[in-house]
Chains A and B, each alone.
Chain A
Amino acid sequence: MTDNDDILDPTTAAFWTAAADGKLVVQRCAACGHSQLYPRPFCLACDSTDLTWAETPGLGTVYSCVTVHLPVRADLPPPYSVGLVELDEGPRLLAAVPDDAAIGDRVAARWQPGDGGARPVLSFAPAGSLADAAEVVS
């Protein structure tokens, strides 16, 4: 658990608490089994409010990706690659992907601690390096 003052959204707090432990979780509907991110107070598929959190292996497929050549932030010198990754559970996430990533590539999520108490930072590595990812966060 973490007591991060930066987590100001109660609906997503559990997501970031899990992230601080190196886990990627999705919100799952107990009524219909639908998985969703970002979390809401109801299921987008069936309107049920019976929602739980499910830890995922973080495996997914690149749905789209681009390389950014613009300077966007001081901590992100270009070029760098960003992708929309579709988790095997269904939801998509926007995060850094490998420089040579292509649509259709299999990737695995990894969390890195945020600087100075900031939220952990999600990125995706080639799926084969899942074991490495587990070491990074431990």
Chain B
Amino acid sequence: MPEFCIAGVAESPLGHVTDQSEPSMIALAAMAALDEAGIARTEVDGLFVNYLGEEGSVQLGEYLGIEPSHADSSDLGGGSWVGFIGHAMAAIAAGQCEVALLAYASRQRTLRKRSRAHVLAPPPPESITAQFDQPAGVPVPIGHFALVTARHMYEYGTTEEQLASVAVTGREWARLNPKAWRRDPLTVADVLASDRICGPIKKLDCCPITDGGGAIVVTTAERARAAKRPPVGIRGWGESHTHWHPHQRRDITSTAAVRSGRQAYEMAGIGPEDVDIFQPYDAFTITPILQLEDLGFCEKGAGGEMFAQGHLRPGGKLPAMTSGGGLSYTHPGAFGIFLVIEAVRQLRGEAGDRQVNPAPKTALVNGIGGLCSYSSTVVLTND
């Protein structure tokens, strides 16, 4: 069994990107990540992409001039790229490829792909969604997360102030990241005063819509020997999904991270007490709270208080969302790839003003996908 690592990472242009296409953004990120890895483009034989339309890996393969021996365009929502790390390890272990390129780009801010007409295009009338979900008029995805938020508040006493403290935590990190989309000071009161959009969720409980993308190179330690930056070890991964329709999940405040986290911890031989830095997926303020709980950093129901006490902020005992997260740094429709990029940079000690000090040795990354449906978890280390 080869020892797996992330040999290179890069962001594409971020924010409001008017001078690039999605394939060209991916190409820029891919070439930068491969340069870090010390691996030539023509050595890539595994291609993992999503959200580029039907047969996305085929189209991107042509654009990049890559004819892979293994391809994966699984749609696992925003958490896909965290999951692709595990898929790439499995493909490499099976001898199907040796150098896996994981990539993503979206210009949904510029192209307004997330307009209501796009997101709420009527599902086919024979679908379960059209019959049992869509008639109620729950906006996707925010309505699903709002139902989870409301139930979490009811079951555990989580407050709107605690939810707001998640957004404030991300912003404190974003203020240290020159690439972050939102860097103005933010207070709990600001979040509470923002427009109510759906249930307990207000405007500043939601991620912004940006353009952006990135690339990750996953390979073996052997193939990463020419890397220009220290490769980061992949020690554990896991994934699962639980449901699509909210009425089909018995406990909507418990996520697939319970299972994916257990798998990742077991493979890595560690527990939450060994994690130095945490990268949760913060599409809405409720999601990092759920992930703290489901990944064992606190008791179920205590995640909101853990944020409110400042434990995840700069200088806190469990630094989290250190790029600024989806809520403040960037969120081009899917955020998973950026969680991995940030964890790698923190583990390498190259995160600039936001660098956690001393540099963390073990990072836990958790991607969320779908309608609070999917979770992928990886353990990354710098030793």
Contact = CB atoms under 8 A, between A and B. Distances in A.
Interface in A1-59: 6, 8-9, 12, 16, 37-38
A43 B139 CA distance: 30
B196 interface: yes
Nearest to A73: B137
Given A70-B142, A73-B120, A84-B147, A8 B198 contact: no
Contact of B136 (A38, A67, A69, A94): A94
Nearest to A44: B248
Contact of B137 (A12, A80, A103): A80
Contact of A96 (B116, B136, B150): B136
A11 to B, nearest CB: 9
B368 to A, nearest CB: 18
B135 A122 contact: yes
B136 A66 contact: no
Given A64-B151, A64-B252, A84-B246, A94 B138 contact: yes
Interface string A56-86: 0000000111111111110010001010100
B199 A67 contact: yes
A95 B136 contact: yes
B137 A66 contact: no
Contacts of A93: 132, 247
B200 A66 contact: yes
- In this complex, the interface size class of chain B, counting residues with CB under 8 Å from chain A, is 35 or more
B126 interface: yes
Interface string B187-221: 00000000111111100000000000000000000
Contact of B247 (A8, A68, A92): A92
Interface in B317-361: none
Interface string A104-117: 10000000000000
Nearest to A120: B135
B125 interface: yes
Given A8-B125, A73-B120, A68 B198 contact: yes
Question: Which of B136, B151, B198 counts the most chain A CB atoms within 10 A?
Answer: B136
B151 A72 contact: no
Contact of A72 (B133, B137, B200): B137
A103 B149 CA distance: 12
Contacts of A66: 138, 143, 146-147, 149-150, 198-201
Nearest to B253: A64
Contacts of A63: 151, 252
Contact of A76 (B132, B137, B154): B137
Contacts of A121: 135
B20 interface: no
A84 B247 contact: yes
Given A37-B132, A66-B198, A94-B133, A72 B116 contact: yes
B128 interface: yes
A103 B136 contact: no
Contacts of B151: 63-64, 103
B179 to A, nearest CB: 29
Contacts of B149: 66
Contact of B245 (A73, A94, A96, A119): A94
A76 B127 CA distance: 21
Contacts of B127: 9
Given A66-B146, A73-B120, A92-B247, A9 B126 contact: yes
Q: Which 3 A-B pairs have the closest CB atoms?
A: A66-B199, A8-B126, A64-B151
Interface of B: 116, 120, 125-128, 131-133, 135-139, 142-143, 146-151, 154, 195-201, 245-248, 252
5 contacts: A9-B127, A38-B128, A92-B247, A93-B132, A103-B150
Given A65-B147, A72-B120, A96-B137, 14 more contacts: A63-B252, A65-B150, A66-B149, A68-B139, A69-B198, A91-B247, A93-B132, A94-B136, A94-B245, A103-B150, A103-B154, A104-B154, A119-B131, A122-B135
